[in-house]
Chains A and B, each alone.
Chain A
Amino acid sequence: MKYWMAFCGIVTRELRRFWHQKARLVSALVRPLLWLVVFAAGFRAALGIAIIPPYSTYITYDVYIVPGLAGIILLFNGMQSSLSMVYDREMGSMKVLLTSPLPRPFLLVSKLVAGALISLLQVYAFFALAWFFDIQMSLLGYLFAAPMLFVTAIMVGALGLLLSSFIRQLENFAGVMNFVVFPMFFLSSALYPLWKLKESNTILYYIAQYNPFTHGVELIRFALYEQVNVMAFVITLLTAVVFCGAAIYGYDPKRGMHNRKAGR
């Protein structure tokens, strides 16, 4: 019961914070909408998309990038959550969480789940807006995508949590954007299919193949068409577990990086 109370408390707190920061929702939606409306319009003519799974027919470029843009919302929100954890630690409110008489892994996972739920809200708000631009999936596709979006959100959120355990100051977070978020996003199948990448650069193609975010995007793409990409699911889930484990280790006062920072 007390675990449930704590979990509800953490989720409620994150939802309240999100509600108080309405600009966060707007900025989370503006970014993918710009890609969808401006970028996709420009590239629609340049990029022809062949018939590749899960698509059964030729599709336009804007249809192709919608799962990738859902992925970018998850990625940026995951990083924003970890940014807020660095901020919480600098401001001290992280101590409230870490001095709760509940197991630290439970508290950190609860925070991850809360962040993932907020990411899902943003993604579905984006899907609703994309609907008006004639990018429409089946209702079942949207429902089917929810658990896959959740797993992907947990994966990128756990990566953010892991990074936050290493980052000493908020200022260092700009480096995360340049060295983690952008490479992860551009070296994935979010904006272009990997066979297109292979045509121009084989090395980048293989890097993209090993990028867990690629598998997260593919998981979402297949789910929106009511299919399960088993390999993508397994890789995304395993990566989420590894990142989670490493983040919990990072926040352990006996072992992790946190020990060097907490008292200062």
Chain B
Amino acid sequence: MSLALQVTSLSYAYQKHKVLKDVSLQLEKGKFYGLLGPNGAGKSTLFSLLSQLLSANDGDISVNGYDIKSAPRKALASMGIVFQQSTLDTDLTVRQNLQYHASLHGLSSKVAEQNIARELVRFSLEQKQHEKIRNLNGGHRRRVEIARALLHDPAILLLDEASVGLDMPTRDSINEHIRYLCKERRITVLSSTHLVDEIQTDDHLILLHNGKILLDAPCASALLTHQFNDVKTLYRQLIAGDAQ
């Protein structure tokens, strides 16, 4: 089995408050994983640890075969990250933001221009490339962020509540696009959300609650095992069970 991401016994605490408790995950290459959990479940902390903005108290993380302790830069180079909060420079244009990201990943000018052109087409942003970010709507900004995260051809794409704050049609369009990319480019996607309706039955579902993994299985088989008809009921029952 070829793994894009392996997390082993990961724990993290903000001072005395334990946010992640012995979390283990194995993500196969080319698959879509939905990380579902209520606010405060530990999703953003997990993403901060994966992206090395935080350092874990305990446990190991391996990205695309690279251990983040022994090969942190190779691990980071294998990841594309879209943070919950927008991280675009609003004073710069779409193209300038993409150029900045390409330079931070050490892409040569030629490769950077090729990849920027490719992503602008893929996300239908050619017409917007010279517009400043501050003039774009939320949906277009998200598209730019995802395009930027894919610019250096990562093996795994981390999306931390990428659709938060967007209206329903924009959310659906972005989610469809990401699933299409997952199939087309064979990249692994780990997409966190607190919105149950973003999970589809053919996704692999990871349910995080109070810093613990409650479920890690293909969504369809989880529904079958727990004998529920929809993800919403499954989610509510498992969360309620854990709270007791």
| A20 in contact with B92 given A92-B86, A103-B73, A254-B55 (CB within 8 Å) | yes
For the complex, what is the distance from the CA of A1 to the CA of B107, rounded to whole Å?
Answer: 9
Say how far A123's CB is from chain B's closest CB, in angstroms: 23
The residue in chain A whose Cβ has the minimal distance to the Cβ of B96 is A16
Task: Check if B108 sits within 8 Å of A5, measured CB to CB.
Answer: yes
Across the interface, name the chain B residue whose C-beta is closest to A8: B103
Question: What is the minimal beta-carbon distance from A69 to any residue of chain B, in angstroms?
Answer: 28
Interface status of B147 (Cβ within 8 A of chain A):
no
Interface residues in B20-40 by Cβ distance below 8 A to A read none
Contacts of B105 in A (CB 8 A): 2, 6, 100-101
Which partner residue on chain A sits nearest B112 by CB separation? A5
Q: Please name all residues of chain B whose beta carbon is closer than 8 Å to the beta carbon of A103 when the two chains form the complex.
A: 73
Q: B14, B15, B88, B106: which contacts A5 (Cβ < 8 A)?
A: B106
**Chain A positions within 8 Å of B83 at CB level:** 92, 95
Q: Kindly provide the distance from the CB of B124 to the nearest chain A CB, expressed in whole angstroms.
A: 23
A183 within 8 A of B: no
Q: Tell me if A263 counts as interface (CB < 8 A to partner B).
A: yes
Q: Which residues of the partner chain A approach B73 to less than 8 Å between Cβ atoms?
A: 101-103
State whether the Cβ of A56 lies closer than 8 Å to any Cβ in chain B.
no
A178 at the interface (CB under 8 A from B): no
Q: What does the 1/0 interface line of B62-89 toward A look like (CB < 8 Å)?
A: 0000000000011111010101011111
Q: Which residues of A, 82-97, contact B by the 8 Å Cβ criterion?
A: 91-93, 95-97
Best-surrounded residue of A3, A91, A96, A102 (most CB of chain B within 10 A): A96
B45 within 8 Å of A (CB atoms): yes
**Most chain-B Cβ atoms within 10 A of its Cβ — which of A13, A17, A99, A262?**
A99
Residue A200 at the chain B interface, CB threshold 8 Å:
no
Per-residue A-contact encoding for B45-70, CB less than 8 Å = 1, 0 else: 10011011111000000000000000
Tell me if A6 and B103 are in contact (CB < 8 A).
yes
Q: How far is the CB of B135 from chain A (nearest CB, A)?
A: 13
What range describes how many residues of A lie at the interface?
35 or more
- Bound state CA distance, A252 and B23, in angstroms? 24
Contacts known (A17-B89, A17-B92); A253 close to B14, Cβ less than 8 A:
no
B208 contacts the other chain (CB 8 A): no
Name which residue of chain B comes closest to A7, CB basis.
B103
A1 shortest CB reach to chain B, Å = 7
A97 CA to B87 CA in the complex, in Å? 10
A residues adjacent to B (C-beta < 8 A): 1-3, 5-6, 8-10, 12-13, 16-17, 20-21, 91-93, 95-103, 107, 253-254, 258-260, 262-264
18 A-B pairs (CB sep. < 8 Å): A2-B106, A2-B107, A9-B99, A13-B96, A20-B92, A93-B87, A95-B83, A96-B104, A98-B52, A98-B53, A99-B53, A100-B105, A254-B55, A259-B54, A259-B55, A262-B53, A263-B14, A263-B53
New A-B pairs, 8, CB < 8 Å, besides A9-B103, A10-B100, A101-B73 = A3-B106, A6-B105, A13-B100, A16-B96, A91-B86, A99-B76, A101-B74, A102-B106
Chain B positions within 8 Å of A, measured between CB atoms, are 14-15, 19, 44-45, 48-49, 51-55, 73-77, 79, 81, 83, 85-89, 91-92, 96, 99-109
